[in-house]
């Protein structure tokens, strides 16, 4: 006896049709016969594993494993002697690694009155929906009162904290690993590192105080010099000049030339408009000769004061 082949086209599809399936997800392989009408078909399957599919149009795998990876195809059979052609092959790819969500932020500091946008993603990004968490409260996902939800995988927040996310898809929901944590600081919140601002302000204040102390020490130095001058009655920096003076005049018969020395004290002062005086001490010694009934005049110490108009040039100073 000869078998007959129906011309009906047969296709195999995956539900959901994701390019990569992760171990533990639920998947359905479906065989569809076009133009079959009310015909009662019995389905035959070819699979890469030792699992025996049922004889109906759907092959449901509640938790896929690596053994389910491979090619699938099917056909419909009317009876033992008539069937359709085999369908085209569809390949199922199963990954043993559980995916991990990735979280990014456009900035980590919320400006005053502003918001920060967070983006959660899983690669490949087929069919994922995302749950958002703050401060490791995995049992309390964020809702519309906590954040503004935009497109899938993106929200904006105005409250500081430690944020994370994870992806989920399918029914029952298959969850990815939780993303890395991202800390978001809000200006004015207790979570913001206030010590950074305090340290900056303290540094500026310290610099200003050091400058004021330096100026104060300079001023105190000038005042102490003036006070010491007033207390001692003589300048701090004194230059002594010895000036040999000769007697000018006629020699007396009974008096020898006198030996005269002059010393001047000149205080070096900063240039100003105050007058500067020089003290000149004159010491005269004469050899006394005895005369009848008369004695020689005693040695004298005389002081002469003179105003010095230009201390910078006096005595070559």
Looking at the fold, whether 77 and 130 belong to one and the same domain comes out as no
Side-chain-side CA neighbours of 25 within 13 Å: the count stands at 31
Q: Annotate 224-288 with three-state secondary structure.
A: HHHHHHHHHCCCCCEEEEEEEECCCCCCCCCCCCCEEEEEEEEECCCCCCCCEEEEEEEEEECCC
Residue 260, both tokens = 């005269």
Looking at the fold, whether 243 and 300 belong to one and the same domain comes out as yes
Q: For residues 129 and 151, what is the distance between their CA atoms, to the nearest angstrom? A: 10
User: Quick check: 25 pLDDT over 80?
Assistant: yes
Quick: pLDDT tens for 235-245.
Answer: 544 444 444 44
Top pLDDT among 310 and 60 is at: 60
Top pLDDT among 40 and 13 is at: 13
Q: Is the pTM of this model over 0.75?
A: no
Looking at the fold, whether 57 and 119 belong to one and the same domain comes out as no
Top pLDDT among 31 and 3 is at: 31
Top pLDDT among 65 and 223 is at: 65
**pLDDT score recorded for residue 266:** 47
Say if CB 239 and CB 268 are below 8 A apart.
yes
Instruction: Tell me the average pLDDT of the chain.
Output: 77
Domain for residue 230, yes or no?
no
Q: For residues 58 and 201, what is the distance between their CA atoms, to the nearest angstrom? A: 71
Q: For residues 187 and 114, what is the distance between their CA atoms, to the nearest angstrom? A: 10
Looking at the fold, whether 68 and 119 belong to one and the same domain comes out as no
Domain for residue 207, yes or no?
no
Average pLDDT over every residue of 255-261: 47
- Domain residues for the domain of 47 are 4-95
Count of structural domains within the chain: 3
Domain for residue 211, yes or no?
no
CATH assignment at residue 14: 2.60.40.10
**pLDDT score recorded for residue 28:** 95
Average pLDDT over every residue of 109-133: 93
Quick: pLDDT tens for 172-210.
Answer: 999 999 999 999 998 865 444 556 677 788 889 899 999
Domain for residue 275, yes or no?
yes
User: Quick check: 267 pLDDT over 80?
Assistant: no
């Amino acid at each position: 006896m000869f078998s007959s082949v129906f011309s009906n086209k047969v296709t195999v599809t995956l539900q959901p049709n994701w390019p990569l399936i992760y171990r533990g997800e639920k998947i359905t392989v479906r065989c569809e016969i076009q133009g079959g009408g009310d015909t009662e078909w019995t389905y035959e399957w070819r699979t890469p594993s030792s699992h025996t599919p049922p004889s109906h149009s759907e092959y449901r795998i509640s938790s896929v494993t690596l053994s389910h990876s491979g090619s699938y195809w099917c056909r419909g059979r009317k009876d033992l002697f008539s069937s359709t052609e085999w369908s085209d092959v569809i390949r199922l790819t199963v990954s043993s690694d559980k995916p991990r969500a990735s979280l990014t932020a456009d900035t980590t500091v919320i400006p005053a009155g502003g918001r920060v946008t967070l983006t959660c993603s899983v690669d490949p990004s087929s069919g994922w929906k995302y749950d958002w968490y703050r401060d490791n409260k995995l049992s309390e996902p964020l809702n519309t009162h906590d954040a503004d939800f935009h497109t899938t995988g993106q929200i904006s927040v105005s409250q500081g904290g430690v944020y994370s996310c994870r992806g989920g898809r399918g029914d029952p929901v298959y969850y990815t690993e939780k993303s890395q944590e991202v800390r978001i600081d809000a200006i004015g919140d207790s979570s913001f590192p206030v010590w950074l601002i305090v340290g900056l302000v303290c540094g500026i204040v310290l610099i200003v105080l050091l400058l004021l102390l330096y100026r104060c020490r300079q001023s105190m130095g000038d005042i102490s010099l003036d006070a010491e001058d007033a207390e001692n009655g003589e300048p701090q920096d004194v230059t002594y000049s010895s000036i040999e003076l000769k007697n000018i005049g006629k020699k007396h018969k009974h008096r020898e030339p006198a030996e005269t020395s002059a010393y001047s004290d000149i205080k070096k002062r900063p240039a100003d408009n105050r007058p500067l005086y020089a003290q000149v001490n004159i010491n005269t010694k004469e050899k006394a000769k005895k005369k009848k009934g008369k004695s020689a005049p005693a040695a004298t110490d005389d002081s002469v004061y003179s105003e010095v108009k230009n201390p910078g040039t006096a005595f070559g100073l």
